[in-house]
């Protein structure tokens, strides 16, 4: 049950004065809610200003700088009404003070209203942006016009909020002003010594300071109010991860003891030796699985660092203990590809492998389910179809999840809910900076694969302006004639009016006309069977050039593809460019990645392409990406169980994340059920930051 103290904050925004059905719909858009009923007062209070307007600058007309927002007190001299029928000519009002003259400009100005607001000879105070032209000062549509004696009522410092079309700053400000008094006094959940040491205000004061900034320092991420809210946000996140972990740990793991009976056969069949970081990761995993606690480990490895093989060694250990292992992939293409890779090696050890996806139907599906239930299937590879109600395992001991950021904490718990408590190994090819690992996966131990397998050649990366696309097509013609394979990546599926980007379908048509018909096409709108067919044709060499959207980003393995062209590279994020580049350079031939960009490049676009040219180190690229984009986007969409922080920022507040992690661990150790006085206050914090699921684990535990 949510504490009653929070009720005023969780009432719908539609109950606030000034919020009718139309404004409620706009707030849904602005705050990212599902429906007007889901939009709560607290969502509005988390909507932080990003800048402020300072109207305290009152220099007098002559001293007002070009482009500055100023406040001027002056006397009204005359009105200049536009000639009849000339609606494009503005209405002008002339004012003067001791220093000079100012023209107020109103397009489509209503004469009656303006005469009432600005009567001749009255002294008025106006505020807005100054524009100088030919030595004359003007102000177009002032933000405020008041009588001089009412100038006190002007908001001199005004926060600026992110807005949505149709919602004016004044309307939003009024609604926020109505919401602020609803914030109740709350019990303090932060340790007193920490609030004193860090100079953190109370949570209630923090929200007031957030929305009532007094000067630019109050908008800074390091302002005390923002640090307080960032800390609370981190603490709520770390606590919910700790509670999930505590819950997962309550169900004891079954030790898996590796005998080497299966793994030695696989190792003998390998045409190469493992890298030292692969060996280290395998040792860490085997050690974890041999204990009575369940393993929860994140395996981070750059594209092509050999994660699948590490996972296979973990699976071998489980099979040696008489158990089963599943490997869950986010897409059908990936699941089938893992199946192809793993079957090759597992064949030498005579293992029973099955693949199960949403497309497995009828008799075939029933037979696979029987083999899983009987234990004949030792390794089962598939999509989330693996966790549906109808799937029963004989003895599931290990779950390997590929591409973690597409699976949230909830999927991990769904496994546990089935009464199954396998060890968990989560693999990601997106190298994640340490702070982000903490924020998103605070509940996991981490193994890193830092080297590329032996024999992999570096990939040469070059940047080429779009104007030279013709040359690139020419180079591709001769490369394909030499028997080489290439990808051509486009950012869109079909032509779009708004964006001047070449779509995959359009690019495919132009390449077919210049290079001939044997060119494949693959994009997200195609059905699974079509995609698989296009991929197989490329893999088997029936097509030598594959035009694609980013569906090939994850895990597509065609070792003899050596050229990657990425069109409009400036529109892709760094991590995505790095993932795409990793589709080539997987064999023993030298590979090239060509980044086609449309100039002129902005600062961020320029920085991204430079980093891509300089390095292939995924961990360095991830750190740079965090600097350029912030964490919100780095793990894909906010909905996927990742930390879409509202106030906290991993760059600005990394020091607080570290403290919150330790604090959460200390709390859970001392008060695992959160029943102490501080524990009760912490429950309020979890509800405030919508981490209710964590509290449900307490009750279910």
Statement to judge: residues 494 and 389 lie in one domain? no
Query: 3-23, pLDDT tens digit by residue?
Result: 999 999 999 999 999 899 999
pLDDT at 698 over 70: no
Q: Which ranges of 630-700 does DSSP label H, i.e. alpha helix?
A: 631-634, 654-670, 677-688, 692-700
What is the spatial distance between Cα 385 and Cα 329, in angstroms, rounded to a whole number?
10
pLDDT, residue 442, reads 65
Alpha-carbon distance values, 57 to 102, 212, 561 (Å) = 16, 18, 62
Name the domain boundary from 408, 424, 449: 449
95 domain residue, yes or no: yes
pLDDT, residue 631, reads 45
Number of compact structural domains in the chain: 4
114 domain residue, yes or no: yes
Statement to judge: residues 285 and 428 lie in one domain? yes
Query: 260-293, pLDDT tens digit by residue?
Result: 999 999 998 888 888 899 999 999 999 999 988 8
234 domain residue, yes or no: no
Query: 16-44, pLDDT tens digit by residue?
Result: 998 999 999 999 989 888 888 889 999 99
pLDDT, residue 501, reads 56
Q: Which ranges of 180-292 does DSSP label H, i.e. alpha helix?
A: 192-198, 203-211, 224-250, 263-269, 276-290
Query: 64-115, pLDDT tens digit by residue?
Result: 999 999 999 999 999 999 998 888 899 999 999 999 999 999 998 889 999 9
Beta strands in 605-650, from DSSP E residues, in sequence order: none
Statement to judge: residues 463 and 437 lie in one domain? no
Alpha-carbon distance values, 20 to 13, 14, 180 (Å) = 10, 7, 19
Give the highest mean pLDDT range of 172-176, 298-302, 534-538, 693-697: 172-176
Statement to judge: residues 200 and 125 lie in one domain? no
Q: How does the average pLDDT of the chain come out, rounded?
A: 85
pLDDT, residue 253, reads 73
pLDDT at 473 over 90: yes
Give the structural domain span for 71. 56-154
pLDDT, residue 93, reads 96
For residues 168-177, average pLDDT = 92
Percent of the chain with pLDDT over 90: 46
661 domain residue, yes or no: no
Statement to judge: residues 38 and 182 lie in one domain? yes
633 domain residue, yes or no: no
DSSP helix/strand/coil, 393: coil
Percent of the chain with pLDDT over 70: 88
pLDDT, residue 333, reads 78
C-beta separation of 337 from 557 below 8 A? yes
CATH, residue 121: 2.40.50.140
Query: 587-642, pLDDT tens digit by residue?
Result: 778 899 999 998 888 887 888 899 999 888 777 787 777 666 554 443 333 333 34
For residues 472-491, average pLDDT = 91
pTM: 0.64
pLDDT, residue 185, reads 94
Beta strands in 598-634, from DSSP E residues, in sequence order: none
pLDDT, residue 592, reads 94
pLDDT band of residue 503 (cuts 50, 70, 90) is confident
Q: Comparing C-alpha atoms, which of 654, 633, 632, 659 is closest to residue 222?
A: 654
pLDDT, residue 412, reads 55
What is the spatial distance between Cα 413 and Cα 417, in angstroms, rounded to a whole number?
6
More confident residue, 97 or 558: 97
pLDDT band of residue 367 (cuts 50, 70, 90) is very high
pLDDT, residue 231, reads 96
Q: Comparing C-alpha atoms, which of 136, 131, 163 is closest to residue 26?
A: 163
More confident residue, 545 or 605: 545
C-beta separation of 265 from 274 below 8 A? no
Statement to judge: residues 177 and 278 lie in one domain? no
CATH, residue 288: 3.40.50.300
701 domain residue, yes or no: no
Statement to judge: residues 190 and 42 lie in one domain? yes
- Residue 565 CB contacts under 8 Å (≥ 6 apart), including other chains: 472, 476, 486, 487, 488, 489, 594, 596
Q: What is the DSSP string of 444-497?
A: -EEEEE-SPPTTPPPEEEEEEEGGGHHHHHHHHHHHHHTT-EEEEE-SBSS--S
- Beta strands at 519-522 and 545-548: parallel, antiparallel or unpaired: parallel
Query: 384-443, pLDDT tens digit by residue?
Result: 778 777 888 899 999 898 864 444 555 555 555 555 678 888 888 766 666 666 666 665
C-beta separation of 586 from 308 below 8 A? no
Structure tokens belonging to residue 282: 């395998």
Name the domain boundary from 154, 186, 205: 154
75 domain residue, yes or no: yes
For residues 196-201, average pLDDT = 94
Q: What is the DSSP string of 91-112?
A: EEEEEE-SS-EEEEEETT--HH
- Residue 112 CB contacts under 8 Å (≥ 6 apart), including other chains: none
More confident residue, 493 or 288: 288
Statement to judge: residues 428 and 346 lie in one domain? yes
What is the spatial distance between Cα 592 and Cα 413, in angstroms, rounded to a whole number?
42
DSSP helix/strand/coil, 288: helix
505 domain residue, yes or no: yes
Strand partners, 588: none
Statement to judge: residues 298 and 439 lie in one domain? yes
pLDDT, residue 492, reads 66
pLDDT, residue 292, reads 83
pLDDT, residue 632, reads 42
Q: Comparing C-alpha atoms, which of 515, 517, 524 is closest to residue 548?
A: 524
pLDDT band of residue 383 (cuts 50, 70, 90) is confident
Find the range with the poorest average confidence among 184-188, 210-214, 246-250.
246-250
Among positive and negative, which fits the CA dihedral 130, 133, 134, 138?
negative
Name the domain boundary from 107, 131, 154: 154
pLDDT, residue 240, reads 84
- CA geometry: angle 414, 418, 423, nearest 5 deg: 75
Statement to judge: residues 94 and 60 lie in one domain? yes
What is the spatial distance between Cα 659 and Cα 648, in angstroms, rounded to a whole number?
14
pLDDT, residue 116, reads 93
pLDDT band of residue 453 (cuts 50, 70, 90) is low
Q: Comparing C-alpha atoms, which of 187, 199, 190 is closest to residue 227?
A: 199
DSSP state of 201: P
pLDDT band of residue 650 (cuts 50, 70, 90) is confident
Statement to judge: residues 90 and 39 lie in one domain? no
What interhelical angle do 224-250 and 203-211 show, nearest 10? 130
DSSP helix/strand/coil, 546: strand
Find the range with the poorest average confidence among 379-383, 388-392, 491-495.
491-495
Statement to judge: residues 132 and 207 lie in one domain? no
State the virtual CA torsion across 210, 213, 216, 219 in degrees, nearest 10.
Answer: 10
């Amino acid at each position: 049950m949510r504490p009653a103290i929070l009720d005023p904050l969780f009432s719908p925004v539609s109950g606030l004065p000034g919020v009718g059905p139309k404004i409620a719909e706009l707030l849904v858009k602005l705050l990212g809610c599902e429906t007007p009923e889901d939009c709560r007062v607290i969502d509005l209070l988390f909507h932080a200003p990003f800048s402020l307007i300072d109207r305290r600058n009152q220099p007098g007309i002559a001293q007002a700088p070009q482009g500055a927002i100023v406040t001027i007190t002056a006397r009204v001299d005359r009105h200049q009404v536009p000639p009849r029928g000339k609606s494009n000519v503005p209405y002008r009002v002339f004012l003067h003070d001791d220093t000079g003259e100012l023209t107020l400009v109103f397009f489509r100005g209503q004469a009656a209203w303006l005469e009432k607001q600005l009567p001749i000879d009255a002294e008025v105070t106006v505020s807005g942006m100054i524009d100088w032209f030919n030595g004359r000062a003007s102000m177009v549509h002032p933000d405020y016009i008041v009588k001089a004696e009412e100038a006190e009522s002007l908001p001199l410092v005004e926060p600026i909020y992110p807005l949505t079309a149709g919602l004016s700053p004044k309307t939003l400000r009024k609604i926020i002003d109505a919401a602020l008094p609803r914030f109740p006094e709350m019990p303090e959940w932060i340790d007193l010594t920490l609030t004193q040491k860090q100079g953190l205000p109370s949570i209630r004061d923090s929200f007031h300071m957030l929305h009532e900034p007094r000067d630019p320092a109050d908008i800074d991420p390091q302002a005390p109010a923002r640090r307080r809210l960032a800390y609370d946000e981190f603490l709520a996140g770390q606590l919910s991860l700790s509670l999930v972990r505590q819950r997962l740990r309550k169900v004891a793991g079954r030790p898996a003891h590796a005998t080497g009976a299966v793994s030695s056969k696989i190792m003998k069949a390998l045409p190469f030796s493992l890298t030292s970081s692969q060996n280290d990761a395998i040792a860490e995993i085997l050690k974890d699985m041999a204990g009575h606690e369940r393993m929860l480990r994140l395996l981070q490895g750059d594209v092509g660092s050999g994660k699948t093989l590490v996972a296979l060694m973990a699976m071998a250990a489980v099979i040696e203990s008489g158990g089963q292992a599943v490997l869950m992939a986010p897409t059908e293409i990936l699941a089938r590809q893992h199946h192809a890779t793993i079957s090759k090696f597992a064949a030498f050890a005579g293992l029973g492998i099955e693949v199960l996806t949403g497309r497995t139907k009828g008799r075939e599906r029933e037979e696979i389910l029987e083999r899983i239930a009987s234990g004949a299937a030792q390794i089962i590879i598939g999509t989330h179809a693996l966790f549906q109600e109808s799937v029963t395992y004989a003895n599931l001991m290990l779950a390997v999840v590929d591409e973690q950021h597409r699976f949230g904490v909830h999927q991990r718990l769904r496994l546990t809910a089935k009464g199954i408590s396998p060890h968990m190994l989560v693999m990601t090819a997106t190298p994640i900076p340490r702070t982000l690992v903490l924020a998103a996966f605070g509940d996991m131990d981490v193994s890193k694969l830092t080297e590329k397998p032996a024999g992999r050649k570096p990939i040469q990366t070059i940047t080429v302006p779009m104007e030279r696309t013709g040359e690139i097509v020419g180079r591709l013609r001769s490369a394909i004639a030499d028997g080489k394979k290439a990808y051509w990546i486009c950012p869109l599926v079909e032509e779009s009016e708004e964006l001047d980007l070449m779509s995959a379908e359009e690019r495919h048509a132009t390449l077919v006309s210049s290079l001939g018909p044997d060119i494949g096409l693959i994009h997200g709108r195609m059905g699974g069977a079509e995609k698989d067919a296009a991929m197989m044709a490329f893999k088997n060499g029936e097509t030598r050039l594959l035009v694609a959207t980013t569906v090939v980003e994850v895990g597509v393995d065609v070792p003899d593809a050596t050229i990657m062209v990425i069109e409009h590279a400036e529109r892709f994020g760094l991590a995505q460019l790095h993932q795409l580049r990793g589709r080539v350079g997987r064999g023993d031939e030298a590979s090239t990645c060509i980044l086609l960009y449309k100039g002129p490049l902005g600062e961020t676009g320029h920085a991204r392409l430079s980093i891509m040219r300089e390095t292939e180190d995924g961990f360095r690229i991830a750190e740079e990406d965090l600097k350029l984009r912030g964490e919100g986007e780095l793990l894909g969409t906010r909905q996927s169980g990742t930390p879409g922080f509202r106030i906290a920022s991993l760059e600005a507040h990394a020091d607080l994340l570290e403290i919150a992690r330790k604090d959460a661990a200390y709390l859970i150790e001392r008060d695992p059920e959160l029943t102490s006085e501080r524990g009760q206050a912490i429950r309020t914090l979890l509800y405030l930051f919508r981490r209710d699921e964590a509290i449900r684990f307490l009750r279910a535990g």
